[in-house]
Amino acid sequence: MKVWKGNILSAAGPDRLEIFEGGYLVFDAEGVIQFVGPELPSRYAALPLEDWGDRLILQSFADMHLHAPQYPMVGIGMDLPLLDWLERYTFPNEARFAEPDFARQTCRQLAAELVRCGTTRVCMFSSRHTDATLILMEELERAGVTGYVGKVNMDRQGGPCLQEGTEESKRETLRWLEECRRFRRVRPILTPRFTPSCTDELMGFLGKLAVERGLYVQSHLSENRAEMALVGRLCPDCAQYWETYCKHGLWRSHTVMAHCVHSDKRERDAMRKYGVLAVHCPDSNLNICSGIAPVKQMLREGVWVALGSDIAGGAMPSMLDVMTSAIRSSKARNIAEGDEVLTVREAYYLATSAGHRYFGDKPGFAVGNPLHAVVLDDRRLPIPARPLTMEERLERAIYRCDDRDIVAVSAAGRRVK
């Protein structure tokens, strides 16, 4: 057992920020939180204590949508909309994951950056390559990043460099699942890339697998108008995009759908009803001109929303930057359409508790949750003109801090930075 002391900020609800100035966090040898509060109960008085002084103890971040093989192309190729961007830049880039050495180098660098930035849980796409996907899982485990990783399935419209055969895709998915048994902190998630990339036969196979083995599913939804029109042409039997997943059993509780920029009320209702997680990726949605997701509206309607960097449609691996981007893009929507803006509290909740919920956690630093935390030192920033409240320090950290200021990271109680 161990104690951390510091300024604890816990996202207990979308609009509930719980603050313990100079508070205490107690966690056991398995990394599970036993206590959080303003005073240390006497029964814990003899435990070893790490005093973080005036630093902020925040929940670490859950990046619920990103693409590992796209890490080498972060920051380039932002001049095309989604479908052209995929064909021109992304697919040729991902094809290099056929080379294990290249995959290893990329995954090691990515895992290190995630840990530096305080991202301890992910829901991540690999490429369609089984061996590279296993390498990715190894590198995440080694670095201390936990969560879900998917070998991508794509048996149509992937071009000569990347597409797999239908039988090959099925066979490799089964081989990959078999190999995944050796991982402890990183688990497999079924990953049909998006409807245009998968035949009905492959989707049906994956849906059956999801039901039979109780596996989770991740994909993309209603990101871009041209993509939605293409789905409409490919699946004339479905009235809406979400139904192309639903008809194969892939629209389930804990199905992760990235983007949902243009999902209308009916599609959003289907998310809420089934317990689908919508992942808002604001930086990506602006970079490749997809649109601005109605994140406030989704929250008002009770849709489960979390945040994603969507590397490399997004160019910001740090969830501090993704939070800033989410607030800014809600303001762009406010200017254009008059929708309410996202608050700092809400952004912090979306980047932490909303994502951690995917792994069964209660909101905030709740007793029983594994300790996913970062310690943030904001002393590099200008001395303020007056003392700041803790909530102001959180706001300023989101806008101004980066990996240099994150001085410690705990992933499920394991100290990884």
* Residue 259 DSSP one-character state: E
The nearest distance, CB 16 to ligand GUN, in angstroms, is 31
What is the footprint of ligand GUN within residues 302-341 (CB under 6 A)?
310, 313
Tokens of 230: 């293409």
Residue 193 binding target from ligand GUN, Fe ion, none, CB below 5 to 8 Å by type: ligand GUN
Q: Are 148 and 168 in contact (CB under 8 A)?
A: no
DSSP reduced 3-state for 308: coil
Question: Does position 139 bind Fe ion by CB under 5 A?
Answer: no
Tokens of 86: 């995929």
Residue 333 binding target from ligand GUN, Fe ion, none, CB below 5 to 8 Å by type: none
Quote the CA–CA distance of 36 and 23 in Å, as a whole number. Answer: 7
Quote the CA–CA distance of 42 and 30 in Å, as a whole number. Answer: 21
Quote the CA–CA distance of 357 and 353 in Å, as a whole number. Answer: 6
The nearest distance, CB 386 to ligand GUN, in angstroms, is 42
DSSP reduced 3-state for 274: helix
Total residues at interface with Fe ion (CB under 5 A): 2
Q: Which is nearer to ligand GUN, 67 or 96 (CB)?
A: 67
Q: Which is nearer to ligand GUN, 286 or 397 (CB)?
A: 286
Q: Which amino acid is residue 185, in one-letter code? A: R
Q: Which amino acid is residue 208, in one-letter code? A: K
Q: Which alpha helices (H) appear in 78-193, and where do they start and end? A: 82-85, 91-94, 100-117, 130-143, 159-162, 166-179
Question: Does position 223 bind ligand GUN by CB under 6 A?
Answer: yes
Among 129, 193, 296, 345, binds ligand GUN (CB under 6 A): 193
Question: Does position 280 bind ligand GUN by CB under 6 A?
Answer: no
Among 55, 116, 121, 220, binds ligand GUN (CB under 6 A): 220
The nearest distance, CB 70 to ligand GUN, in angstroms, is 6
Quote the CA–CA distance of 89 and 26 in Å, as a whole number. Answer: 47
Q: Are 188 and 175 in contact (CB under 8 A)?
A: no
Question: Does position 194 bind ligand GUN by CB under 6 A?
Answer: yes
Residue 223 binding target from Fe ion, ligand GUN, none, CB below 5 to 8 Å by type: ligand GUN
Question: Does position 86 bind ligand GUN by CB under 6 A?
Answer: yes
Residues that bind ligand GUN (CB under 6 A): 67, 82, 86, 90, 193-194, 220, 223, 284, 310, 313
